[in-house]
């Protein structure tokens, strides 16, 4: 297979972890006889520094003309310290999702048996948990207008807007996925308070009529935050809107043990964007301590979903599993019992995964 892949390293630890993810893709091409070509582009703080814009036009045009995008992370402390800055890294990612029509964010939460002790949640609660989140990505309060300051800056307004069409298209994807998994969709909203959530619940219920083999459950977001941690094995596919999905999937990282383990795919009608769910983590950037596994698993999703290379995708996951089974850890998933010679940096963890991948392909 021939494929063109855009690599956007981004900010903070983004370049470190994405370099590992890209190395895995290159190794897959070498081992399985594919031809992957790579381009690079700027997004976020680095793009603002270089061009004044968080999403340069050059990046957008490249993104529209590739088969898939491997992305790192965006963000910089200067924006946290001054939330009123008019140009911000997040604007670039939001616009890229909108321009590419990436309306569905898929986040698999799967527990590695080898890492049960890495989570603060009891192993007997976690064991066997396997959840797939569908987060709507281009609607809701992140995109609604007006969003502005009024009354000399003393009043702020954000607007949450959803249409039935926006809800329907991601609900259909979630039900289709559940049909091929364990047959259950949990839709999360705040229908007891919000009009947008009442529209959400109504539309999801309508879509469910087309999937009689799939069980539909509705949950309010506040109770869901508790049940997700206390009963993770009860859930199969979780479907929710933009803001709620952003919060819940970060919470769910504790099921796996670390944000450094969780990949995501943002998909729509054409090109897909694949990225770790963690942020730019500027406090550890450049120190070779970031966990690259989320980027590696994002590369696995890219292989499976955009390139339809299921065998290669599974080989990447198996390589990660083998490295973990041998006791190798990065700092975020280590325990006090982890031997010092098995505590690896970003690059070293990547090298171990590449070695296992090569052995699997023999």
Which pLDDT score, from 0 to 100, does residue 117 have? 79
Average confidence (pLDDT) over 3-14? 97
Band (113; pLDDT cuts 50, 70, 90) = confident
Which of 256, 288, 305 is the last residue in one of the domains?
A: 256
Domain contains 109: no
Beta-carbon contacts of residue 287 (< 8 Å; ≥ 6 apart): none
Which pLDDT score, from 0 to 100, does residue 260 have? 84
pLDDT at residue 236 tops 90: yes
Same domain for 328 and 213, yes or no, is no
Same domain for 129 and 222, yes or no, is yes
Same domain for 145 and 232, yes or no, is yes
pLDDT at residue 72 tops 90: yes
Which of 256, 273, 298 is the last residue in one of the domains?
A: 256
Strand partners, 131: 109
Number of structural domains in the chain: 2
- Reported as half-sphere exposure (CB side, CA atoms, 13 A), residue 154 has a value of 2
Same domain for 170 and 54, yes or no, is no
pLDDT at residue 269 tops 80: no
Which pLDDT score, from 0 to 100, does residue 297 have? 97
Give the Cα separation of 264 and 274 in Å (integer): 6
pLDDT at residue 127 tops 80: yes
Structure letter (DSSP) for residue 114: G
Band (111; pLDDT cuts 50, 70, 90) = confident
Which of 239, 256, 273 is the last residue in one of the domains?
A: 256
Domain contains 209: yes
Average pLDDT, the chain: 95
CATH number at residue 234: 3.40.718.10
Average confidence (pLDDT) over 37-66? 97
pLDDT at residue 83 tops 80: no
Domain contains 113: no
Q: Determine the structural domain holding residue 196 and report its residue range.
A: 120-256
Q: 116 with 123: CB under 8 angstroms?
A: yes
Give the Cα separation of 258 and 254 in Å (integer): 6
Domain contains 32: yes
Same domain for 289 and 228, yes or no, is no
CB atoms near residue 94 (< 10 Å): 17
pLDDT at residue 121 tops 90: no
Same domain for 51 and 156, yes or no, is no
Same domain for 139 and 238, yes or no, is yes
Residue pLDDT, tens place only, 133-181: 999 999 999 989 999 999 999 999 999 999 999 999 999 999 999 999 9
pLDDT exceeding 90 applies to what percent of the chain? Answer: 84
Same domain for 275 and 252, yes or no, is no
Band (253; pLDDT cuts 50, 70, 90) = confident
Strand partners, 6: 39, 69
Which pLDDT score, from 0 to 100, does residue 82 have? 80
Which pLDDT score, from 0 to 100, does residue 80 have? 79
Which pLDDT score, from 0 to 100, does residue 301 have? 97
Give the Cα separation of 108 and 114 in Å (integer): 17
Which pLDDT score, from 0 to 100, does residue 257 have? 80
pLDDT exceeding 70 applies to what percent of the chain? Answer: 100
224-231's contacts with Cβ under 8 Å and 24+ in sequence apart are 224/186, 224/188, 224/248, 225/251, 228/252, 228/255, 229/121, 229/254, 229/255, 230/125, 231/125
pLDDT at residue 77 tops 80: yes
Same domain for 97 and 127, yes or no, is no
Angle at the Cα of 265 from the Cα atoms of 90 and 229, rounded to 5 degrees:
90
Q: Which residues are catalytic?
A: 142, 190, 222, 246, 250
Which pLDDT score, from 0 to 100, does residue 15 have? 97
Going 323 to 324 to 327 to 333, the CA torsion angle's sign is: positive
Same domain for 15 and 94, yes or no, is yes
Which pLDDT score, from 0 to 100, does residue 223 have? 97
Which pLDDT score, from 0 to 100, does residue 195 have? 98
Band (110; pLDDT cuts 50, 70, 90) = confident
Same domain for 184 and 218, yes or no, is yes
With 0-12 / 13-18 / 19 or more C-beta atoms within 10 angstroms meaning exposed / middle / buried, residue 86 is exposed
What's the N-to-C CA distance of the chain in angstroms?
A: 19
Domain contains 110: no
Domain contains 112: no
Domain contains 304: yes
Domain contains 349: yes
Which pLDDT score, from 0 to 100, does residue 57 have? 97
Same domain for 133 and 249, yes or no, is yes
């Amino acid at each position: 297979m021939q494929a063109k892949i855009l690599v956007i390293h981004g900010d903070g630890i983004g370049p470190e972890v994405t370099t590992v993810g890209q190395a895995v893709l290159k190794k897959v091409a070498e081992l399985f006889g594919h031809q992957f070509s790579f381009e690079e582009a700027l997004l976020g703080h680095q793009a603002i520094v270089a061009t004044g814009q968080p999403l340069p036009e050059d990046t957008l045009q490249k993104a529209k003309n590739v088969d898939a995008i491997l992305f790192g992370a965006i963000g910089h402390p200067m924006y946290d310290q001054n939330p009123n800055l008019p140009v911000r890294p997040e604007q670039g990612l939001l616009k890229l999702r909108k321009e590419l029509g990436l309306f569905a964010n898929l986040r698999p939460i799967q527990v590695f048996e080898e890492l049960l002790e890495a989570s603060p949640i009891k192993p007997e609660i976690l064991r066997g948990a396997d959840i797939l989140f569908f987060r709507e990505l281009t609607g809701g309060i992140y995109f609604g207008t007006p969003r502005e300051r009024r009354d000399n800056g003393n009043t702020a307004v954000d607007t949450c807007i959803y249409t039935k069409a926006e809800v329907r298209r991601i609900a259909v994807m979630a039900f289709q996925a559940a049909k091929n998994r364990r047959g259950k969709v949990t839709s999360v909203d705040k229908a007891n308070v919000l009009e947008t959530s009442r529209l959400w619940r109504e539309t999801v219920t309508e879509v469910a009529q087309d999937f009689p083999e799939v069980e539909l459950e509705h949950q309010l977001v506040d109770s869901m935050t508790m049940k997700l941690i206390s009963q993770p094995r009860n859930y199969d596919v979780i479907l929710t809107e933009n803001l709620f999905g952003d919060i819940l999937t970060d919470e769910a990282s504790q099921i796996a043990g670390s944000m450094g383990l969780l990949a995501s795919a943002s998909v729509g009608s054409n090109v897909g964007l694949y990225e770790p769910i963690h942020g730019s983590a500027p406090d550890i950037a450049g120190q070779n301590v970031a966990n690259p596994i989320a980027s590696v698993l994002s590369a696995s999703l890219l292989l499976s979903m955009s390139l339809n290379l299921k065998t290669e995708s599974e080989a990447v996951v198996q390589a990660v599993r083998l490295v973990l089974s041998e006791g190798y850890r990065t700092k975020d998933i280590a325990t006090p019992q982890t031997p010092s010679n098995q505590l690896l940096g970003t690059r070293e963890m990547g090298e171990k995964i590449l070695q296992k991948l090569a052995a699997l392909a023999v």
